A and B are shown apart, each in its own frame.
Chain A
Amino acid sequence: MTQPASPARPVTEKSAPADGDPGPWRSLAARVDVRTLSLLGVLAALVVIGGVTEPEAFLDTDNLQLILTQASVIGVVTVGMTFVIISGGIDLSVGAIVALASVWATTVATQDYGFAGILFTAVVVGLGCGLVNGLLIAYGGMVPFIATLAMLASGRGLALEITDGKTQMVTVDGVLKLGERDSYVLGIPPLVLVFAAVTAVGWLLLNRTTFGRRSVAVGGNAEAARLAGIDVRRQRLYLYLLSGLCCGIAAFLLIILAGSGQNTNGNLYELDAIAAAIIGGTLLSGGRGTITGSVLGVLIFTTITNIFALNNLETAVQQIAKGAIIVAAVLVQRRSATT
Chain B
Amino acid sequence: MPEFTSRRGLLFGAAAVSAGAVLTGCTSNESKDSEGDTSGDNKQAVADDKPGKRVTIGFAGPQADHGWLNAINDNAKSRAKKYKDVTLEATEGSNDTAAQIGQVETLINKKVDVLVILPADGKALTQVGLKAMRAGIPVVNLDRIFASAQAYRCWIGGDNYGMGLNAGHYIGEKLKDKKNAKVVELAGLDNLELTKQRTKGFDDALKNYSNIEKVARQAAEFTVESGQSKMSQLLQAQKNFDALWNHDDDQGVGALRAIKQAGRDDFMMVGGAGALSAFEEIKQDRGVLKATVLYPPTMAASAIDLARALGQGKGIGGMAEFEIPASLTLYSAVVDKDNVDQYMPTGFK
Contacts and interface: CB of A to CB of B under 8 A. Distances in A.
Interface of A: 54, 56-57, 62-63, 66, 69-70, 160, 164-167, 169, 179-181, 254, 257-260, 262-267, 305-306, 309-312, 314-316
A312 B261 contact: no
Contacts of A181: 261-263
A311 B233 CA distance: 10
Given A57-B236, A309-B237, A312-B237, A258 B65 contact: no
B223 A310 contact: no
Closest 3 interchain pairs by CB?
Answer: A309-B233, A165-B70, A264-B223
A259 B258 CA distance: 9
Given A179-B257, A181-B263, A262-B223, 15 more contacts: A70-B232, A165-B67, A167-B250, A167-B253, A169-B253, A181-B262, A254-B225, A258-B228, A258-B253, A266-B225, A305-B233, A310-B233, A312-B237, A315-B190, A315-B219
B260 interface: yes
Contacts of A312: 215-218, 237
Nearest to B72: A165
Contacts of A310: 233, 236-237
A312 B229 CA distance: 14
Interface in B203-228: 215-219, 221-226, 228
A166 B232 contact: no
B218 A309 contact: yes
Nearest to B68: A165
Contacts of A63: 236
Contacts of A69: 232
B136 interface: no
Contact of B69 (A165, A254, A316): A165
Nearest to A169: B277
A179 B70 contact: no
Contacts, number: 112
A259 B253 CA distance: 8
A42 to B, nearest CB: 20
A142 to B, nearest CB: 24
B237 A165 contact: no
Question: A54, A309, A311 — which one has the most chain B CB atoms within 10 A of its CB?
Answer: A309
A166 B224 contact: no
Contact of B225 (A262, A306, A315): A262
B230 A57 contact: no
Nearest to A164: B70
Contacts of A257: 225, 228, 257
Contact of A66 (B236, B260, B349): B236
Interface in B238-274: 239, 250, 253-254, 257, 260-263
Given A57-B236, A160-B63, A181-B261, A265 B223 contact: yes
Nearest to A266: B225
Contacts of A314: 190, 219
Nearest to A269: B225
A246 B100 CA distance: 36
B261 A180 contact: yes
A328 to B, nearest CB: 23
Contact of B190 (A57, A254, A316): A316
16 contacts: A57-B239, A66-B232, A165-B65, A165-B67, A167-B349, A169-B253, A169-B277, A179-B261, A258-B254, A260-B253, A260-B254, A264-B65, A267-B221, A309-B237, A312-B215, A316-B190
Nearest to A309: B233
A262 to B, nearest CB: 5
A262 B224 contact: yes
B64 interface: yes
Interface string B137-153: 00000000000000000
